[in-house]
């Protein structure tokens, strides 16, 4: 067993599915996409080709020798062992011992060499490509559908590669050598068999694409069902809150009904295929057994040759159904791959330029120069923004929903590329630096702070993975999170910092999520800080307790804070008022109040510290 394990390890090590590779947008053509994943498997493919051919030839050799054995036995038992005992023994050793070895080696290559590595390779590369997509890419699709496509595409490519060698290659070798052996017996046996093989291949190539197309549509329907079901589960609190369980059931049922129609169509095709296969199998027997008996009766074939020919026909009979199913599966897989590539083969829209340097932050000054961004619509968004945020300056962004506050931040983070103008950090155009280095220099706390479905420790250390336990706890204390973290316990019995928080942090209250998110940013300690309603989920007491922490975080950093609750940004160095994508006012809090302009009206008209919804229309009246 030790040596067998070493063989497995050697075969598995022939390919590293996570090895560096030339990164580019995956080919949108399913066959090209699959072939691109075969390139690292050249050695494995060569071994698999030889092993598969040996298995097919040995299997046919076993059938051929069975026919020869019939002829040898026809001489009678008296002289059989004396004349042919040695030959039979050698044949037994050669065929019965070598064949299991060849089959076992072939299985090792297919399972350990191809399947073990192909599946993770496809998934890893697809996942890596999707991680490089802009945020908007994920906002336009179901997370469940995207993940379903990545996972299913991996299975489809792996199984197609496996079947190419385990089924089609061996079947082709078997068919070719069958024709060679039948020709050696009598060419009149080989001709009808050749016609039958061609007819069968033609039928398979006619039928399989139809089944594959239907299966591709079924795959789309399956992804839709997955997306809708996952969407309901992800937003279960909203479903419960609005008492819309029946609405969600209907939403999923409509997708399931469409899935059922496509699935039924595929099953009808398979039912018809079974009838056609019965006809082909009967024809195979007639086209071999009939001529074989006629040639035997005419003295052109021996009984053993007839037996071998019949056995070959029977073996092809058993293979036809198997080959048909495997072919249909491959076409199904290509339908799945084609559907998956609708997401996987999408070019990345925000990419690093070749040789882009890392961002170097010395002062933290941010310059928006002639910035316009309309999200490809020609209007709306930001229009002609010129703004300089000096290093270490703290500014607040104010304005009604849709004024462009979040757009300024998203473009700074390069979640999208600007349409007109540019953004500089310490004189460096962010479009020309590495994205990761840009975002590493910016710490951000959002209004809806989602957490990873991992432990509290993992979530806080996401800000600085190499931080020590003491540094992590210190950050949690500053965010007023340490005490409640110690009381946490998940269903698996993990407590404190080891407790898992659930998908997007659903096991925690909004305030608890926000404090962990604050601890994560505190630990990151980036030179530029962005706060998007960072304390909106906190109650007044907790907010007051961490206000000093927030201002401590801002010390020595360039800060951009978005707020509707104006009291949270009143102490900023400068306040920028946005309306309809333009800067309409700018200055310190007291100066803006003294101007008695839009900001002053916001301040006077807010209720509980929030800008009223109708503030814009009233201010401009």
Average pLDDT value for residue range 422-436: 94
Q: Crossing angle of helices 30-38/116-131, nearest 10°?
A: 120
For residues 182 and 196, the answer to whether their CB atoms sit within 8 Å is: no
pLDDT digits (tens, 9 = 90+) for 55-75: 888 888 888 888 888 888 877
Tell me which residue has tokens 């079901």.
229
pTM of the model: 0.77
Task: Give me the CATH topology for the region 15-344.
Answer: ABC transporter transmembrane region fold (1.20.1560)
Average pLDDT value for residue range 512-529: 90
Residue 358 Rama label (left phi>0; alpha psi -120 to 50; beta): beta
pLDDT digits (tens, 9 = 90+) for 166-212: 888 988 898 898 889 888 888 888 898 888 888 888 888 888 777 77
Whether the pLDDT of residue 48 is over 70: the answer is yes
> What would the two tokens of residue 101 be?
């070895």
Whether the pLDDT of residue 541 is over 70: the answer is no
Map out the domains of the chain as residue ranges.
15-344, 359-441+572-621
Question: Mean pLDDT: which of 76-85, 130-139, 235-244, 575-584 is highest?
Answer: 575-584
> Would you say how long the chain is, in residues?
621
Average pLDDT value for residue range 592-613: 73
> What would the two tokens of residue 597 be?
């302009």
pLDDT digits (tens, 9 = 90+) for 95-122: 777 888 888 888 899 999 999 999 999 9
For residues 525 and 474, the answer to whether their CB atoms sit within 8 Å is: no
Whether the pLDDT of residue 512 is over 70: the answer is yes
- CATH number (3.40.50.720, 3.40.50.300, 3.40.1010.10, 3.40.50.800) of 359-441+572-621 reads 3.40.50.300
Show Cβ contacts of residue 34 under 8 Å, excluding neighbours closer than 6 positions.
157, 160, 161, 334, 337
The strand pair at 394-398 and 366-373 is best described as unpaired
């Amino acid at each position: 067993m030790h040596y067998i394990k070493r063989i497995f390890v050697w075969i598995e090590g022939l390919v590293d599915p996570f090895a560096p590779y030339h990164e580019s947008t995956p080919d949108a053509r399913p066959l090209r996409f699959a072939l691109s994943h075969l390139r690292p498997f050249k050695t494995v493919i060569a071994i698999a080709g030889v092993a598969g051919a040996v298995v097919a030839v040995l299997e046919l050799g076993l059938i051929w020798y069975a026919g020869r054995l019939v002829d040898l036995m026809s001489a009678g038992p008296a002289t059989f062992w004396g004349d042919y005992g040695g030959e039979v023994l050698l044949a037994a050793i050669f065929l019965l011992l070598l064949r299991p070895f060849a089959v076992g080696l072939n299985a090792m290559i297919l399972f350990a060499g191809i399947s073990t590595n192909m599946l993770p390779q496809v998934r890893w590369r697809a996942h890596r490509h999707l991680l490089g997509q802009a945020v908007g890419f994920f906002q336009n699709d179901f997370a469940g559908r995207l993940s379903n496509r990545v996972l299913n595409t991996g299975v489809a490519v792996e199984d197609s590669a496996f079947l190419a060698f385990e089924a089609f290659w061996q079947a082709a070798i078997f068919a070719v050598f069958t024709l060679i052996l039948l020709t050696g017996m009598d060419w009149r046996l080989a001709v009808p068999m050749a016609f039958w093989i061609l007819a069968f291949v033609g039928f398979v190539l006619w039928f399989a694409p139809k089944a594959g197309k239907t299966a591709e549509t079924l795959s789309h329907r399956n992804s839709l069902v997955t997306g809708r079901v996952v969407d309901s589960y992800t937003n279960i609190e909203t479903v419960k809150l609005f008492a819309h369980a029946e609405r969600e059931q209907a939403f999923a049922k409509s997708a399931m009904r469409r899935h059922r129609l496509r699935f039924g169509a595929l099953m009808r095709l398979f039912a018809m295929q079974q009838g056609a296969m019965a006809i082909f199998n009967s024809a195979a027997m007639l086209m071999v057994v009939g001529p074989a008996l006629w040639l035997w009766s005419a003295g052109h074939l021996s009984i053993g040759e007839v037996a071998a020919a019949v056995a070959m026909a029977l073996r092809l009979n058993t293979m036809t159904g198997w080959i048909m199913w495997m072919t249909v599966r491959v076409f199904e897989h290509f339908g799945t791959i084609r559907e998956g590539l609708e997401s996987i083969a999408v070019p990345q829209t925000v990419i690093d330029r070749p040789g882009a340097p890392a961002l170097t932050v010395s002062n933290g000054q941010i310059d928006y120069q002639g910035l316009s961004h309309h999200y490809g619509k020609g209007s709306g968004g930001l229009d002609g923004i010129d703004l300089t945020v000096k290093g270490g300056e703290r500014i607040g962004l104010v304005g009604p929903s849709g004024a462009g506050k979040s757009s300024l931040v998203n473009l700074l983070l390069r979640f999208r590329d600007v349409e007109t103008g540019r953004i500089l950090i310490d004189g460096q155009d962010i479009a020309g630096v590495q994205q990761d280095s840009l975002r590493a220099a910016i710490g951000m706390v959002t209004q809806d702070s989602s957490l990873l479905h991992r432990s509290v420790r993992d979530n806080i250390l996401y800000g600085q993975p190499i931080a020590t336990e003491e540094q992590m706890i210190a950050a949690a204390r500053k965010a007023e999170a340490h005490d409640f973290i110690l009381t946490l316990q998940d269903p698996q019995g993990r407590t404190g910092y080891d407790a898992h928080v659930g998908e997007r942090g659903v096991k925690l209250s909004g305030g608890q999520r926000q404090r962990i998110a604050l601890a994560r940013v505190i630990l990151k300690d980036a030179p530029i800080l962005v706060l998007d309603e960072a304390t909106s989920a906190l109650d007044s007491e907790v907010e007051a307790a961490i206000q000093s922490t927030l201002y401590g975080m801002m010390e020595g950093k360039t800060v951009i804070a978005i707020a509707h609750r104006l009291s949270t940004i009143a102490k900023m160095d400068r306040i920028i008022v946005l309306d309809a994508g333009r800067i309409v006012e700018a200055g310190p809090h007291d100066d803006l109040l003294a101007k008695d302009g839009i900001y002053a009206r916001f301040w006077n008209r807010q209720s509980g510290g929030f800008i009223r919804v109708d503030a814009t229309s009233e201010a401009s009246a």
